[in-house]
Amino acid sequence: MTSAARIALIKGDGIGIDVAEAAMEAARTACRHVGAPALELDEIQAGAGYFERTGQDIEPGGEERAGRADAIFLGAIGLPAIRHADGTEISPHLRLRDRYGLYAGIRPVRAYPNAPQRLADPRAAGLDLIILRESTEGLFYSAAAHGRAQVIGDDEVRETLRITRATTEKLHRFAFRLAEKRRQRGKRARLTCVDKANVFTSMAFFRKIFDEVAADHPQTQIGYNYVDAQALDLVRRPWEFDILVMENMFGDILSDLAGGLVGGMGMAACAEIGDTTGLFQPAHGSAPDIMGQDKANPLAAILSAALMLDYLAEKTGTATYARAALAIEDAVEAGFAANRLRPMEFGGDMGTWAVTQAVLAAMPVTAAQDTQ
C-alpha cells in the first residue's frame, strides 16, 4: 500500500478556516470512497490574525514544513484592518509562491447546471476553460518579497515587471502538457497566448518563447489575443476558448472576470504548481464579515481539493487519488444537476456545512482498488 500523502494545511483567516475544513472533509471522504491512501494533515499557523498576535505572518519553521509536504492547502489569508505599515496586506502565501517556484497557476472556469450564469447566450451553459496564470513573476514580482518596490520619497513608487526565459519556458511547456491532458479526457484543447506584445517588450518576449515551445507541439492548435481584447472576448464569446496562458497580473484580473461568468468567486478553484510542490486554494478572499456564520460557499475550496488530489496522483504515482478527485468533481456536478447544491452566495438556503454534506452525500462509493 502507498503511504499517506502529507498535506501542509494553512487555514488562514476569516472564512478560510471554514472552507479549508470543508475541503479537507471532502478530500478525506473521497479518498475513503475510492480506497485511496489517507491524507495526513500538518496544520501550520499563518495569516493576518497570526500576525496580529505574534508579529510574524507564519509560525517559525512553517515555510520549511510546507515545502516538505506532498502538497500545501490554503484557506484564505488577509484581514482588512491588519496590514503592514505601508498599507499592503499580510501575504505569506505570496512568499511561498516565490520560495517554491509555484509558476503554474491553474484557474478552472466551468459552468454548472442550476448555478448562476451571467451571460444570456445558451452556449454559456457549456463553459469549460482554464486560465493558466504565471504566478511568480510578472507585475507581482515586486510583491512576492516584501519591500522590492522602489519608493522615492512621497512622490513616486516604481514596481518591477519581470519575465524570465527559464520560468516562461516552464510555464508554456506546462500549458502544452495541460492541453494534451485535456485532449486525453475528450475535451477541446486549443491554447491561446494572452499578452500585450504590441506595446511591451516583456510581452513580446513572453510570446516569442510561446512560439518556440509551440514548435515542439505541432499537434496542439494555438492562437493569440491581446489582454484587452481577451477581456472583451470573455464576455462576448468565452465558449470559444479552452486554455489561456498569460502573465501574472493579467491572470489575476481575467480569472476573476471569468469566475463571475459561472457564479462568482465561491466557485473559483485554484492550483499553483511548481517543480517540487503545489499549493491549492480557493481564489476568493477571507470575507471576515461572514466568518464563523456558516454562510460561506465552500465549493471553490472543495474543487481546489480535487485539483490537489489530481496533482497527488501524478506526484506519487497513486492512481486512486485521481479517482478521488473525479469523485469530488462528479459529486459537485450531480449536486447542481439535482438542485441539491444551493449556496447562500447564489441566494440559496444552504450554508457552508449543508453544501459540504450535500457534496459528500453525492459521492459515488467505489470498491477499494490497488493503490500502487
**Which residues are annotated as catalytic?**
141, 196, 228, 252, 256
Report the C-alpha gap between 58 and 91 in whole angstroms: 9
d(CA 122, CA 107): 23
Report the SS3 class of residue 222.
Answer: strand
User: How many whole angstroms separate alpha carbon 32 and alpha carbon 321?
Assistant: 10
Whole-number Cα distances in Å, 285 to 74, 118, 289, 291, 304: 11, 21, 11, 11, 14
Task: State the Cα–Cα distance between residues 20 and 15, nearest whole angstrom.
Answer: 8
**Residue 67, exposed/middle/buried by CB under 10 A (0-12, 13-18, 19+)?**
middle
Q: How far is Cα 122 from Cα 119, in angstroms, rounded to an integer?
A: 8
